[in-house]
Amino acid sequence: MSAVDRVLVVDAGNTSVKFTAFEDESIVWVQRDECRLESAHFSPDRIYFASVRSKEQSALLHADIQAEYPNAHWSTLTSQAQACGVRNAYIEPARLGIDRWLGAVAAHHTAKGDVVVVDAGTAIKIDIVNRAGIHLGGYITPGLAMMEEALLSNTAKIRYGAHEVVAGSGLPDSTARAVTEGCHEMALGFLERIHRRYSDFKWVVTGGDAQRLLGLLGISLECQPNLVALGAKMVGDEQVRGNK
């Protein structure tokens, strides 16, 4: 039996924590922000930890999870110059967000060719990887909710209730529609511009808003909700093999 038989991937994003449990290469369960994990029938050999949070927040989360699984070997994943056949474009590789790096690694192996990786959550992140595994770079923009929050927090009279956010046709005829649909149009314009540049690339998407946004553009895509976890499993396993 492999030394990496049971693995728990912890993906600590800006607004939520996602736990993905693997047995060999199969995902057996996924949870978000649960106080108690499904630990009764799952005892990981290894934990792969990927966090974009501050050192202090990451340390607190680390302590909580380690208390739940005290016998698991812990690996904190960081962005590298190269891993799993993918080369990082950044001059300072460690400064590439670990979520972007793991997504790029997983998408390269999923697409098996030129690929655009879109992760649309708190932020909308795009990374481009060619078929040779060269990460060419990417973009970070505010996500839909962040755009709306920035507009509302910096204006005095742009206000509306949640009940006013309704779908409509034609030009927006309320403040709620003007803001929400305006933010959608900004995001769509950005994504459409990227698609014009990389129309021949395969698109692999993840994150809560990605499929909805790209669906409006009619872009052919592969939706992979566990993209970051899959990348973490690949990178973590490679590090384990290298340490033997």
As given in the structure block, the two tokens for residue 203 are 């698109």
Cα–chain-centroid distance for residue 215?
Answer: 18
d(CA 65, CA 23): 18
Fill in the amino acid letter for 5: D
Question: In the chain, what are the helix, strand and coil shares in percent, each to the nearest 5?
Answer: 40, 25, 35
Complete DSSP assignment for 191-216: HHHHHHHTTTSEEEEESTTHHHHHHH
Question: Annotated active-site positions, please?
Answer: 99
Comparing CA positions, the residue from 22, 61, 63, 25 lying closest to residue 43 is 22
Q: Are 184 and 167 in contact (CB under 8 A)?
A: no
* Residues tagged in the binding site annotation for K(+): 119
Q: Are 117 and 126 in contact (CB under 8 A)?
A: yes
* Residues tagged in the binding site annotation: 11-18, 90, 97-100, 119, 122, 175
How are beta strands 86-87 and 46-51 bridged, if at all?
Answer: unpaired
* Residues tagged in the binding site annotation for ATP: 11-18, 122
* Residues tagged in the binding site annotation for substrate: 90, 97-100, 175
